Structure 1
Amino acid sequence: MKKLNEKGFTLIELLAVIVILAILMITAIPAVTNSIAKSRKDTFATNAKNVINAVRTSMASGDVKNGSEECSYPADGSAVKITITSDALKGLLERGGDKSSFGRAYNDSYVIIYNKGGDKFDYYIAITDKGGNGVATFTKESALTGSNIKLGNAGNITGTFKPDGSENALATSNISTCTVS
């Protein structure tokens, strides 16, 4: 009896491999997508902390202005709001200051310096990009993590600020405003 040359895969074997690969792809793609989104949110939070550090440095060096005057730190129990235009943001961050970790340009952002008393300052930030990613409510620096970052629905930056431990919100219109130059 003559043997057939059996050097290949049958159609059933090939289909089985394709089905197995499809199942693996269906389970792997969401996991990878979630991992990428988490990484981008964490990077956004890190960049926001870098903005706060840049404002801290700019305040110390006198580069934050209230009109033509140098902006001063707030008195006990009060705050100062620092506006950071999207153009100024480019200069504050060493790399990638023109776009967020989501690849979108930043909107104008705000840092609030709140004096808890005795020259102890808390820093809060509200920062979003053109895609609606970010934090639109003033978030304390120590509480800023990737889990605070909203994707696509951060909303507009709010006009109130509530310091830790305070029952009353301070309207940002009642807080002196400075700008990073």
Structure 2
Amino acid sequence: MLRSIKKLVKKEKGFTLVELLAVIAILAIILAIAVPAVGNVISDSETKAEQANAELFENAARLAHVSGVESASDEYSLKTLHDEGYLEEIPDVPGTDKPYDESKKVKVTILDNGSAEFEFIQ
């Protein structure tokens, strides 16, 4: 019985160098495909977050305008929107830990038909 166990132990073989290189090559190919894809996802998410923040600011300015909050030269600064309670807080710029500059403004344009357009000025 001891001889049969020794034979089994002697027959065990590890991976060959070629097998290990093949696995490493496959992993390298997968990594080469995955890294740029992840980079694009991060970039796209920052762009979408910036667009969402701009929409948030425009909607806050729209509410302030409809509520009759006075604005200087048809613009609302983020500080005014925050102080008046239309923004709970000024969010961070995507990709940084710094909030938007409070002096950034949302421009109000009154159209001929009496409606208004709002645009966040970056």
Deviation at 1:13, TM superposition (A): 1.2
* Identical pairs, percent: 32
Shift of residue 86, structure 1, vs aligned partner: 9.6
CA shift for structure 1 position 51: 0.7
The TM-score normalised by the length of structure 2 is 0.72
SS of equivalent residue, structure 2 residue 59: helix
Following superposition of structure 1 onto structure 2, how do residues 1-181 of structure 1 map, counting pairs within 5 Å?
Answer: 4-66=10-72, 80-85=74-79, 88=82, 92-94=86-88, 97-103=90-96, 104-107=98-101, 108-127=103-122
Higher strand share: 1
Report the counterpart of residue 146 of structure 1 in structure 2.
none
Q: After TM superposition, where is structure 1 displaced by more than 6 Å over at least 4 residues in a row? A: none
Instruction: With the length of structure 1 as denominator, give the TM-score of the two structures.
Output: 0.52
Q: Which has the larger radius of gyration?
A: 2
In 2, distance between residues paired with 1:54 and 1:40?
A: 21
Contact map agreement 2:106 2:119 (CA 8 A) in 1? yes
- Greater share of residues in helix: 2
Structure 2 unmatched ranges of 5 or more: 1-6
Over the aligned positions, Cα root-mean-square deviation in angstroms equals: 2.8
CA distance in 2, matches of 1:7, 1:94: 66
Unaligned runs of 5+ in 1: 67-78, 128-181
